[in-house]
Chains A and B, each alone.
Chain A
């Protein structure tokens, strides 16, 4: 009975929320805006909330005795699955371009860029425990380093890639110094401000960066000196191999470049975790005072985390610049930092596989959802759904946000919450810890 009452209450709240948000749609009419009511959509949503809440409460009643059990089983399943998931994902990533679909290769490149950014930020946030809300700054520094070096000095991508990494790492140290004493919320605020400072500099230093107009015609990368230009002339990829020049060749090449860069990030992180430096980062996350009492130089350890995390952000930035061939400060807003941080938190702080999965869901999943909703809308051509079908794709972000909330309720420590020990005395690996 209480469940029914609770469900009614939830439905009432949903009605209050969705009534104005979904029920009233503005349309451009001849004379200004028109308000079109959309009662069916509201009814569907309120009904979903009512039955969803009712179902959830009934399910919870039945499983009263063992509320933790399903979560633990899920954790163990995930741990077991992850052993096969990693090689499967890697094989999929390598095989993707052979599918031949330009759309999927482009999407894969985008996903991998975020995987790489996630892995880079994972060093700072996941391992060292330093909450960084301005990670996009290093992405921007990397992108602009390459774009400017190419524009003013005519350097190629492969020379600029390490330079972009070094410059971004330098910026990481620059950010690190003033925030050495800060932790948690205060650190987050300063890093947030740092991200904005870099963006504002890029906008306002017009003589160097062309301000809001951005930089265009950034050169594309070459494969051992072979370019991917469309004219098929001397010294191009297609000329060398005697095949027709096609855009897809460059797209696939770029895809493998970012795949290699992302794997480099992953490899370096995995190695570093087993090194004293990586252990010191994790120790720093656990207890800074204890670190100091053991003779660990907290300053250097923090700066190295900032620098190395920033370096990978810089690599990703240089790749972004060469892939887009055009960059402007527009691309480096706070929402990018937030997305990357969401990927790291959703994946499970410190978990490499979790971050990759989260990037796949957050970036790839969002695109898939768009497709799915358009397809669903096309199926619902009965007059009953007339009010909703056309609007369905616009609910993409709403559904996505809801999915994220549900995910964090179910798995508050991220998709893969466990942590493998970096050294063991006995041979067996400890099972992922589940304290959520």
Chain B
């Protein structure tokens, strides 16, 4: 059976700079796959290619649903990657709808499902059609994810007024509201304290056990080593290691990239 996500010979060029150089890796269904690497290794660029924010220079990214339907992510227009291929993402610097409440954030995420029930908007404005039932279902889903992320008491507060850790969780809840098969998290543990980081681990494992695969970029090795099933290590846009956490930890190439060796220039946190 084909892997859930398959990245083949992906290259991304910005002018003269090769941010990602001939990268290939795969992510299996039901796994938490982590992409790690020193600063500037090209992790976020890979993410932006997978989620449609960049169009890769060359290479292919294929997502295969369990029903066997394959989506060529490198060709789909940006918004279709979420609506058709069901790939959700969060951002390194949180991008919530700050002026709207937590609940509204989750309802906006269900836009396509709810919009389909409005009969081109006309019927719903007139109070006809099946919009009322669809909205009730949407509220239930929002309530479920608010509960799962421990935000149910803050549902009617403005997203922008929530504490930092809660905003991180809300962004994950919002991404889950599109019913993704693959959730891409860009540094979800950044800026969290150890306790919040532990809670996040629990949440991510629950999401995985709920049937959604995860792909994450993370600097916090505690998070990565504890919850990942599979790790891909990048350096200067190239894959230098690929395997289980134990294998990657023992790989001399990884140690060299992180701790520096000879003329290496960077020491990552």
Residues on A facing B (Cβ under 8 Å): 268, 271-272, 275-277, 279-280, 282-283, 285-287, 289-298, 304, 419, 421-426, 428, 430, 433
> Is B104 engaged at the interface, CB distance under 8 Å to the other chain?
yes
Interface stretch (choices B57-65, B87-95, B198-206, B239-247) = B87-95
Selected from B100, B104, B124, B174, the residue in CB contact (under 8 A) with A294 is: B174
Listed stretches B29-37, B113-121, B229-237, B250-258; interface member: B113-121
| Nearest chain B CB to A259 CB, angstrom units | 20
B4: Cβ under 8 A from any A Cβ: no
CA distance A292 to B89 in the complex (A): 10
Is A421 touching B121 in the complex (CB atoms < 8 A)? no
Contacts A282-B97, A286-B97, A287-B97 known; A424 to B103 CB distance under 8 Å? yes
Residue contact B118 to A425, C-beta cutoff 8 Å: no
Beyond the given pairs A289-B95, A290-B91, A421-B103, 6 more chain A to chain B contacts, judged by CB atoms under 8 angstroms and listed by A's residue number, are A276-B110, A289-B53, A295-B83, A296-B112, A423-B139, A428-B156
- Asked, given contacts A275-B118, A282-B100, whether A294 binds B109 with beta carbons under 8 Å apart, the answer is yes
Using known A-B contacts A294-B178, A421-B103, determine if residue A276 contacts B98 with beta carbons closer than 8 Å: no
Q: Which residues of chain A come closer than 8 Å to B155, judged between CB atoms?
A: 424-426
Q: Which of B15-23, B74-82, B189-197, B216-224 is found at the contact surface with chain A?
A: B74-82
* Residues of chain B at the chain A interface (Cβ within 8 Å): 51-53, 78-84, 88-89, 91, 95-101, 103-104, 107-112, 114-115, 118, 121, 124-125, 131, 139, 143, 146, 152, 155-158, 174-175, 178
Chain B residues near A294: list those with CB within 8 A: 82, 88, 108-109, 111, 174-175, 178
8 Å CB contact of B96 from A277, A287, A295? A287
- With contacts A275-B118, A277-B121, A293-B88 taken as known, whether A283 is within 8 angstroms of B156 at the C-beta atoms is no
Tell me which residues across on chain B come within 8 A of A271, comparing CB atoms: 124-125
B101–A296 CB distance below 8 A? no
Contacts A286-B98, A295-B178, A296-B112 known; A425 to B156 CB distance under 8 Å? yes
| Option from B53, B84, B103, B125 in Cβ contact (under 8 Å) with A275 | B125
Closest to B134 in A: A276
Within the complex, the shortest CB–CB distance from A71 to chain B, in Å, comes to 18
- Please give, as numbers and ranges, the residues of chain B lying within 8 Å of A268 by CB-CB distance: 125
Whether the Cβ atoms of A279 and B121 lie closer than 8 Å is no
Docked Cα-Cα span, A398 to B156, in Å, equals 44
Contacts of A423 in B (CB 8 A): 101, 103-104, 107, 139
